[in-house]
């Protein structure tokens, strides 16, 4: 990606994310809240966390016992702090590690290709299913339910679900994931801010103070005064 966003000195900030990642949800909501406050253009980049982890040699925090215990506590605190309805699935291993998110992220990618205006609400509804309601995000009926709640017409959602298994969509998702890896990603969320033609990578949902400093903006916390369009 070349540096720069739109006019008036706006800077491009890319968010590489996967709905299987709760920390990605936090980063996603914060950037959506700051879109109208900071002079930035936010570009949502659906990717596949499984591919990032494999290629970077990383592993999920929950697979390290002490990290897993900490993560459960951490998510409770973060849910309150960020005002995002995070709740860990009852069977974390089954929902997150075993089932994963490949069908969901292929669907989000298809949405991005055909109806990019629905990427934000569809992604949010998928996060709500797995990380708030403890519901499946891999079965077709579950994905369609999320799409319906996001306002995507049923007939169009069905077409996109069929499209999600096409080589075109698979290659698009793979390409986005590979692009994140080229930037240096080893997990998600991966935020890439483009300033003066240079990409700057930030990992996780707790580096917004540093991002603000890079952008020449003010960090007003996870719930800025102009809150507004949080959609929660």
Q: What is the predicted pLDDT for the residue at 187?
A: 96
Q: What is the predicted pLDDT for the residue at 64?
A: 80
In which band, very low, low, confident or very high, does the pLDDT at 189 lie, cut at 50, 70 and 90? Answer: very high
User: In this structure, how many other beta carbons lie within 10 angstroms of the beta carbon of residue 151?
Assistant: 12
Query: pLDDT tens-digit profile of 92-150?
Result: 888 888 899 999 999 999 999 999 999 999 999 999 999 999 999 999 999 999 999 99
Q: What is the predicted pLDDT for the residue at 65?
A: 83
In which band, very low, low, confident or very high, does the pLDDT at 4 lie, cut at 50, 70 and 90? Answer: very low
**Segment 160-180 mean pLDDT:** 98
Q: What is the predicted pLDDT for the residue at 8?
A: 63
> Can you tell me the distance from the alpha carbon of 42 to that of 26, in angstroms, rounded to the nearest whole number?
15
Alpha helices in the chain (DSSP H): 22-34, 49-56, 65-82, 92, 102-114, 119-131, 140-149, 154-163, 167-183, 208-215
Question: 11-215 belongs to which homologous superfamily?
Answer: Glutaredoxin (3.40.30.10)
pLDDT at 44 over 90: yes
Q: What is the predicted pLDDT for the residue at 9?
A: 86
Mean pLDDT is lowest, of 28-32, 96-100, 212-216, for 96-100
- 126 and 19 in contact (C-beta within 8 Å)? yes
Q: For the whole model, what pTM was predicted?
A: 0.91
**Segment 75-91 mean pLDDT:** 95
In which band, very low, low, confident or very high, does the pLDDT at 15 lie, cut at 50, 70 and 90? Answer: very high
Radius of gyration over every alpha carbon of the chain, rounded to an integer in angstroms: 17
**Segment 63-73 mean pLDDT:** 86
- 171 and 127 in contact (C-beta within 8 Å)? no
pLDDT at 227 over 70: no
Q: Tell me the pLDDT of the chain averaged across its residues.
A: 92
In which band, very low, low, confident or very high, does the pLDDT at 167 lie, cut at 50, 70 and 90? Answer: very high
């Amino acid at each position: 990606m070349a540096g720069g966003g739109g006019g008036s000195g706006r800077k491009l900030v890319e968010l590489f994310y996967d709905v299987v990642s709760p920390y990605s949800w936090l980063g996603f909501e914060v950037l959506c809240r700051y879109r109208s406050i900071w002079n930035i253009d936010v570009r949502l980049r659906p990717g596949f966390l499984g591919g990032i982890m494999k290629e970077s040699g990383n592993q999920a925090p929950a697979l390290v016992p002490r990290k897993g215990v900490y993560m459960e506590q951490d998510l409770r605190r973060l849910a309150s702090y960020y005002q995002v309805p995070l709740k860990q699935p009852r069977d974390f291993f089954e929902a997150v590690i075993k089932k994963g998110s490949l069908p969901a992220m292929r669907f989000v990618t298809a949405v991005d290709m055909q109806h990019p205006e629905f990427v934000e609400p569809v992604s949010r509804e998928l996060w709500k299913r797995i990380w708030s309601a403890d519901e499946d995000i891999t079965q077709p009926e579950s994905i369609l339910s999320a799409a319906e709640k996001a306002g995507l017409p049923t007939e169009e959602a069905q077409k996109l679900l069929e499209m999600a298994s096409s080589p075109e969509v698979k290659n698009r998702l793979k390409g986005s994931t590979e692009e994140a890896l080229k930037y240096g990603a080893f997990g998600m969320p991966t935020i890439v801010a483009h300033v003066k033609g240079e990409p700057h990578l930030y990992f996780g949902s707790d580096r917004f103070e540093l991002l603000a400093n890079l952008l020449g903006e003010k960090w007003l916390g996870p719930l800025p005064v102009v809150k507004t369009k949080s959609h929660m």
